[in-house]
Amino acid sequence: MKPVSPVLSELARRYRARHAGRTGRGRRAVIEDLEGLLRAAGCSEGDARAAAEGALCEAERAGVLERVPHHPRDPEHIAGIRVRPEDEEAFFRHIGEAAPSETRTALATQFAEAMEIPVPEPWRSGWRSWLDALRHAALEGGSVEPLEREAGPGNAELLALLPRVLAWRGESLIRFVSCVLCGDSKRLEVLSGRLGRALGSITGGAVTSLEDVGIVRNPRSVLVHGPLRLRLDEAWLDLGFLQGAVRVSEADIIRATAVETSARRCLTVENETSFQELAQLRSGELLIQTSFPGSGTLALLRKLPETLEFHHFGDSDEAGFQILEDLRGRSGRDFRPLHMVRGRIPAEQEALGRPRMPTWPFYDPVVGREGADTLPRS
């Protein structure tokens, strides 16, 4: 089969984008300006133009389109190209492509067949309702987001994954789950946004992300150092005896019936490198490593005594101050900045070097500059 002329391919693309091509309900013919069509197809001059005009003449002789002259009395000067809805199937058959009506039907069929895929309760009804809505949208040319508008392997992959994601039990890291479900450790991360939107539609907003079903990017835990005691099953776990930092799971934080600390201050530290340097000082302050806080960090912050002072030591760039605001808003604690100066170059907190004092505030305070830490030593 000879290659399709670029001008016919461009005409097909434009037809698909018009109301008649998208919905199948258009009654008016699609008319495209010839010169604009030739330019868009890259064949407005020389031999390319001659070949394009020849392809249009051949298609007209085949009865799948019409060349529209500037004026009935001047049939040699063509102004536009007309494709009527009733000639749609013949036109696309002429260029060897599936007609939009066939594409819509195939997509609707893909959604209808997916309704039979087993889905765990309580999401079976939502699964079928979601797919039925997509089926109707496909037939009518409506949006099928986050799925693709053509039935193919991309849609098949998502439709096969969604029930298996909903059936996942327990908490696992996303790369492990991706290997199990996709055979590729990174595939779920690539698809996570589209999967989340689909899950939200299926579950009525009850599940809107992979994390909601226990598929997490990082362990739900918090890295801490300093005097911290958790009461677990009628016994106290005292983390203050440990010289190094320790990671505590969110599950243990939640089941703790009491949380105590002898520290005066809680200091969150954005970067783990700086956190580890501060932890070596064994200053008696409660240190928590976090950037934008995860659920484990928030669970601990909310259980800490309200008498604590809360401070955040982060980078002095815009992201660092956004983390500070996020901590304030999501934890409900009145965090104050420590050693954070707007406009400081370099902005990374590691640029301050090793702490110069073993006690609070670890570095000499910076004063007299906008946004600077002005906390006194103690």
- Over residues 54-65, the pLDDT tens digits come to 999 999 999 999
Residue 219 confidence class, pLDDT cut points 50, 70, 90: confident
**Average pLDDT of the chain?**
92
Contact 14, 8 (CB under 8 A): no
pLDDT in the model for residue 283: 95
> Which of 112, 111, 82, 85 has its CA nearest to residue 100?
85
Query: Does residue 120 share a domain with residue 212?
Result: yes
Residue 245, domain member (yes or no) = yes
Residue 367 confidence class, pLDDT cut points 50, 70, 90: very low
Domain that holds residue 275: 221-352
pLDDT one-digit tens code per residue, 255-270: 999 999 999 999 999 9
Query: Does residue 263 share a domain with residue 183?
Result: no
Choose the final residue of a domain: 97, 117, 135.
97
Query: Does residue 178 share a domain with residue 133?
Result: yes
Contact 97, 38 (CB under 8 A): no
Query: Does residue 311 share a domain with residue 205?
Result: no
- Alpha carbon distance 299, 88 (integer Å): 60
Query: Does residue 40 share a domain with residue 21?
Result: yes
Higher pLDDT, 218 or 130: 130
Structure tokens at 22: 């998208």
Give the amino acid at 123.
Answer: W
Residue 112, domain member (yes or no) = yes
Contact 270, 327 (CB under 8 A): no
pLDDT in the model for residue 71: 82
Residue 359, domain member (yes or no) = no
Residue 47, domain member (yes or no) = yes
Residue 3 confidence class, pLDDT cut points 50, 70, 90: confident
Share of the chain above pLDDT 70, in %: 96
Residue 347, domain member (yes or no) = yes
Query: Does residue 107 share a domain with residue 85?
Result: no
pLDDT one-digit tens code per residue, 157-200: 999 999 999 999 988 999 999 999 999 999 999 999 999 999 99
Q: Is the pLDDT of residue 374 over 70?
A: no
When divided into structural domains, the chain yields a total of 3
| Cis check: omega of the bond before 153, within 30 degrees of 0 | no
pTM, 2 dp: 0.65
Residue 294 confidence class, pLDDT cut points 50, 70, 90: confident
pLDDT in the model for residue 25: 86
Query: Does residue 130 share a domain with residue 195?
Result: yes
pLDDT in the model for residue 226: 97
Q: Is the pLDDT of residue 376 over 70?
A: no
Domain with residue 297: its CATH number is 3.40.1360.10
- Alpha carbon distance 25, 258 (integer Å): 65
Query: Does residue 105 share a domain with residue 85?
Result: no
Q: Is the pLDDT of residue 306 over 60?
A: yes
Query: Does residue 343 share a domain with residue 229?
Result: yes
Residue 347 confidence class, pLDDT cut points 50, 70, 90: very high
Q: Is the pLDDT of residue 122 over 70?
A: yes
Share of the chain above pLDDT 90, in %: 85
Structure tokens at 73: 């009395």
pLDDT in the model for residue 365: 62
pLDDT one-digit tens code per residue, 71-81: 877 778 899 99
pLDDT in the model for residue 370: 38
Query: Does residue 234 share a domain with residue 211?
Result: no
